[in-house]
A and B are shown apart, each in its own frame.
Chain A
Amino acid sequence: MASQTQGIQQLLTAEKRAAEKVAEARKRKARRIKQAREEAQAEIENYRRERERQFREYEAKYMGSREDIAAKIDKNTELMLCDVESDVKNNKEKTFLYISFINKMARVLVGVKRVIDYAVKIRVKPDKTGVVTEGVKHSMNPFDEIAVEEAVRMKEKKIAAEIIAVSCGPAQSQEVLRTALAMGVDKGIHVEVSGSDYETLQPIHVSKILAKIAQNEKADMIIVGKQAIDDDANQTAQMTAAVLDWPQATFASKVEHGDKEITVTREVDGGLETIKCKLPAVISADLRLNEPRYATLPNIMKAKKKPITKTTAKDLGVDISPRISVVSVEDPPVRQPGVILPDVDALVGKLKEGGHI
């Protein structure tokens, strides 16, 4: 039994020792893990420090100190604000230029005259003071229709912002203004001139009126017909240009719009001529400039709502006292009645007789 007890004692001791060894190994393992952790942490810390140092170095190298950066940011902000400010300024200028382009480069004045219709055979008054106008069909001077059409086309091409039609004459002149409005003009100005004042109203008066209105309305272009088919004067465009000291593009058959100038093809004796005029300018329309449109019924209805303002030469400060007195208006000499010839031989005979061949 004693040996059994001894054996048990030995076993227990061994067991105890084993337990101690295990515990020791555990402790050692824990210590090792702890140590490893500490080492790893230290290593991480070192690495972090190293990176931070590198970063600082980099930072310092490329951006200077923190204080510098703050100053730089402030400075940049200031510069950016400056930029924004000057941008605003520039754009303001640009916007202003754009607005003034809309306002300045594209306000068109057209002159329209009410005349006896071109197809009417006129009659001279028996007292030789003029031609019969009462009860005779009147319409817009054909050359003025072309002027209006050209202005309306400018608006359709976004070259013109506003078109203003002006007519000088008696109350019925409003009819031609309405026609112009129906063709696409925006507003009308009727300069009322009637009675004996109208009988002696000449291009010199009309041009001063047009010039004054052009200034009041800040127009940049005036388009009129090359001549009125009643007085056949062919003066108003030239005189208006002179009063305003603007260039003149007379007898225009083609107008091309540039930035601050127009290129105009003119119909001259012997052919065509091309000129460039600075804006503002006065244009006189020849027959071949365009084919005027017909006003449609809806446009005629719309035209009734468009404004026509009335004024007088006196309101505009223009003296319309007569520069001429009409001595007489007479029929042209009547030609002797001719003969109808039977054939070419008879014609050859007559040409020989007349010394033409």
Chain B
Amino acid sequence: TNSKFSNHLKRLQSTLIIAEHDNKGLLPITQNALTAAKKLGGEISVLVAGTKCGPAAEALSKANGLSKILVAESDAFSGFTAESLTPLVISTQKQFNYTHIVAGASAFGKALLPRVAAKLDVSPISDVIGIKSPDTFIRSIYAGNAIQTLKANDPIKILSVRGTSFEPDVLEGGSVKSEPVSTDGCATDMTVFVSQELSKSDRPELTSAKSVISGGRGLKSGDNFKLLYDLADKLNAAVGASRAAVDAGFVANDLQVGQTGKIVAPDLYIAVGISGAIQHLAGMKDSKTIVAINKDPEAPIFQVADYGLVADLFKAVPELTSKLS
């Protein structure tokens, strides 16, 4: 009877995923969020809001297991501000009474979900790395040095999920039609989006790349990062950096891997000239294979590395690049 009861509960559950997109297409973290939502059980709806929702809704329509795709297209959502999206999520929640609201733990999800949660008087759960049951979740605390399992007591569970902890949904086999939702009351002058300055790169995106090569203070200058770019091109890898390298101005902020930057978990992570401070390890220690290249044999990075090479990076990296061709 217990399992029957819990099955009954699962049927009563319904999840709203807030899709992340850039008006040109769906962003990959939404596929990870979709996998997490499927672990919760129950019906799944996706809300796509933006100034141009067609491409994202089109991609989502192929996902299997969705019951609804809600589309809110309005100029009010220019810049995807939390101030304009919150009333939309609240009105959608009031209409359909979801038990769970889920988004990826990206800058977008992190800015939006807590605002929605406070409006619903619910305590949100950030950066979930595991789902044990519809009300029991796993997340990391203290920069990944402890793993907390918690039971949420609030009637509505609002979760941001760590992309690297859930496989991306393949977006195949489905054929759900989109339906428009009202965007009344979403326009606000509280916050106005002005502009965006995105770093352009032909390489794979850092958080979803299969391989990542990161450089630290040991690179000595921004110009020397070219050594890593050359190696990255051979491996079709993304390039990341430690906070030291970012603070020294070698590379842009958005390449930072760590507790305060991006959290990555690729198949292969090559740390070059990175000592391995706790804050950096928090962002990469779930990588499947970790390689460290550092001339200091005492560097803490060797304690988490599967393969270590104690060598001068200025010799080892070009050699590795040439041997990969």
Mark A residues whose CB is within 8 Å of B. 116, 118-119, 121-122, 124, 131, 143, 202-204, 207, 226-227, 229-236, 238-243, 246-251, 253, 263, 266-278, 286-288, 322-332, 335-336, 338-341, 343-345, 347-348, 350-351, 354, 356-357
In the complex the two chains form, what is the Cα distance from A326 to B125 in whole Å? Answer: 12
B302 touches A338 (CB 8 A): yes
**Is B164 close to A, CB under 8 A?**
no
Instruction: Indicate whether A356 sits within 8 Å of B267 (C-beta atoms), given known contacts A233-B126, A348-B323.
Output: yes
Mark B residues whose CB is within 8 Å of A. 79, 81-83, 86, 106-108, 110-119, 121-127, 136, 139-154, 189-199, 205, 207, 211, 234-235, 243, 247, 252-254, 259-260, 262, 267-268, 278-279, 285, 289-291, 297, 302, 304-311, 316, 319-320, 323-324
Not counting A324-B151, A325-B153, A326-B149, a sample of 19 additional A-B residue pairs whose C-beta atoms are within 8 angstroms of each other reads A204-B121, A234-B126, A238-B82, A248-B111, A250-B111, A251-B110, A253-B253, A272-B254, A274-B194, A275-B192, A276-B191, A277-B190, A327-B150, A329-B141, A332-B145, A340-B302, A341-B309, A347-B320, A354-B268
B304 touches A335 (CB 8 A): yes
| Cβ–Cβ < 8 Å partners of A122 in chain B | 142, 145-146
Of the residues A121, A236, A251, A271, contact of B145 by C-beta under 8 Å: A121
| Cβ–Cβ < 8 Å partners of A234 in chain B | 110, 114, 126-127
Chain A to chain B: the 8 pairs with minimum beta-carbon distance, closest first: A242-B118, A323-B123, A238-B114, A239-B118, A271-B198, A235-B114, A327-B149, A247-B190
Instruction: Indicate whether A238 sits within 8 Å of B126 (C-beta atoms), given known contacts A324-B152, A347-B307.
Output: no
Instruction: Indicate whether A207 sits within 8 Å of B118 (C-beta atoms), given known contacts A273-B79, A276-B194, A340-B310.
Output: yes
Cβ distance A243 to chain B, nearest Cβ, rounded Å: 5
Give 14 CB contacts A-B under 8 Å: A131-B141, A204-B122, A232-B139, A234-B126, A238-B110, A238-B114, A241-B115, A242-B118, A247-B83, A251-B107, A269-B207, A271-B252, A332-B144, A351-B268
| Cβ–Cβ < 8 Å partners of B190 in chain A | 246-247, 277-278
In the complex the two chains form, what is the Cα distance from A351 to B293 in whole Å? Answer: 14
In the complex the two chains form, what is the Cα distance from A272 to B207 in whole Å? Answer: 17
A275 touches B114 (CB 8 A): no
A344 touches B316 (CB 8 A): yes
Cβ distance A353 to chain B, nearest Cβ, rounded Å: 10
| Cβ–Cβ < 8 Å partners of B139 in chain A | 232
A338 touches B306 (CB 8 A): yes
| Cβ–Cβ < 8 Å partners of B79 in chain A | 273, 275
A204 touches B123 (CB 8 A): yes
A288 touches B253 (CB 8 A): yes
A332 touches B146 (CB 8 A): yes
- Taking CB as reference atom, which chain A residue is nearest B105? A234
A327 touches B127 (CB 8 A): no
Cβ distance B210 to chain A, nearest Cβ, rounded Å: 8
